[in-house]
A and B are shown apart, each in its own frame.
Chain A
Amino acid sequence: MHELSIVSSIVDSVTETLAAYPGARVKEVRLRVGALASVIEDSLQFCYGIAAENTPLAGSALVVKILPVKARCERCARDVEIASLQSFRCPICEEPVSDLRQGRELEIESIEIEDEVEENV
């Protein structure tokens, strides 16, 4: 539901970053999104096209890497991957886990840019 405001933030952040790379064109924006971040990739993609229009990001691709939820299991003394978002239990010992280590990320990892100007030889 709030994907449009999320992609607007992405466009703003990337535009700010581009100030340091005059003349550069954005080819790709790569995100890291936790499975518990409550954003839907399809909606992100749909909104991204709209938000990127008439900005230096127009025509660029949005690549979304979804990160599984990981939590600390005290009994197993290790970080474990939560298989289902309907049950926060260790997949090995079934102990309930509440100390989340991964899964809420909502980050721009990197951007791929292309310089329009020829490099000086």
Chain B
Amino acid sequence: MTTRIVELRQGILKKNDELARDLRGQFEAAGVLVLNLVSSPGTGKTAFLERTLRELVKSGSKAAALVGDLETDNDARRLAASGAPVRQINTHGVCHLEAEMIGKHLDGWKLADLDYLFIENVGNLVCPSSYDLGEKIRVALLSVTEGEDKPLKYPTLFNSADAAIITKIDIAEPCGFDRAAALRNINEIRPGIRVFETSAKTGAGMAEWLVYLADKQRRLA
């Protein structure tokens, strides 16, 4: 009997990474800016995205969304009211979206006709950080009701984000939200990250966010 070592040097999520790379190539060729929105359940991803889609549709941009949840198509129905094309991805228990699920749900959509594609991930601050979906921009969201130290508790996600959104700032005061601490913590985990302080309800901070999106979209060309 002989024992030997076989070198593999292989990414465990290789299949996902390869699919994500293909998707990224397709998205870039089509000139569509793809964003992956990640947060805990209840942060307000859907409300934030509803407002974003509504504003983009109003300004004549072409935006679409894929929304991931374990079950139900409630979020897709909410988002579709914006007039943008929306598809629900039900993961049936899987705690994150994977590149394969994205690829499967793009059928019949002409990517070249889109300016923006938003992917609302399953509400979870841990697992989605390991799965590349081919996005250009990963967005981490944090609400004023959650505690300012969340970036410190979930450094993996916040460190991998390209932009951070603080949601529900209209209720920051009654929640006793410590804005300075939240900004400090986000920057401690991801130095120099762009942070947007928003309210989907009042529209606060949305103008700045839309300028950022338009700028990133233009740079694709």
Listed in ascending order, the chain A residues whose CB lies under 8 Å from chain B are 1-2, 5-6, 9-10, 13-14, 17, 21, 27, 31, 36-39, 85-89, 96-98, 100, 104, 106-116, 118-119
Contact = CB atoms under 8 A, between A and B. Distances in A.
A48 B187 CA distance: 36
Given A27-B3, A98-B192, A116-B1, A106 B8 contact: no
The bracket for how many chain B residues form the interface is 35 or more
Contact residues of A: prevailing secondary structure: mixed
Contacts of A9: 12-15
Interface stretch (B18-26, B75-83, B152-160): B152-160
Contacts of B2: 114-115, 119
A44 to B, nearest CB: 10
Interface of B: 1-15, 94-96, 124, 126-127, 129-130, 152, 155-157, 159-160, 187-192
A11 to B, nearest CB: 10
Nearest to B8: A108
A83 to B, nearest CB: 13
B7 A109 contact: yes
Nearest to A38: B156
Contacts of B127: 1-2, 38
A65 B152 CA distance: 24
Contacts of A109: 7-9
Contact of A6 (B3, B12, B157): B12
6 contacts: A9-B15, A38-B127, A88-B159, A104-B160, A106-B130, A115-B3
A6 B190 contact: no
Contacts of B189: 86-88
Given A86-B155, A97-B191, A98-B190, A107 B9 contact: yes
Q: Interface residues of B: mostly helix, strand, loop or mixed?
A: mixed
Given A1-B95, A85-B155, A107 B3 contact: no
A47 B50 CA distance: 38
Contact of A86 (B152, B187, B190): B152
A115 B1 contact: yes
B15 A2 contact: no
Nearest to B10: A108
Nearest to B158: A88
A6 B6 contact: no
A17 B6 contact: yes
A108 B12 contact: yes
Nearest to B151: A86
A79 B189 CA distance: 17
Contacts of A97: 191
B12 A106 contact: yes
Contacts of B159: 36, 88, 100
Contacts of A111: 5-6, 8
B8 A110 contact: yes
B155 A114 contact: no
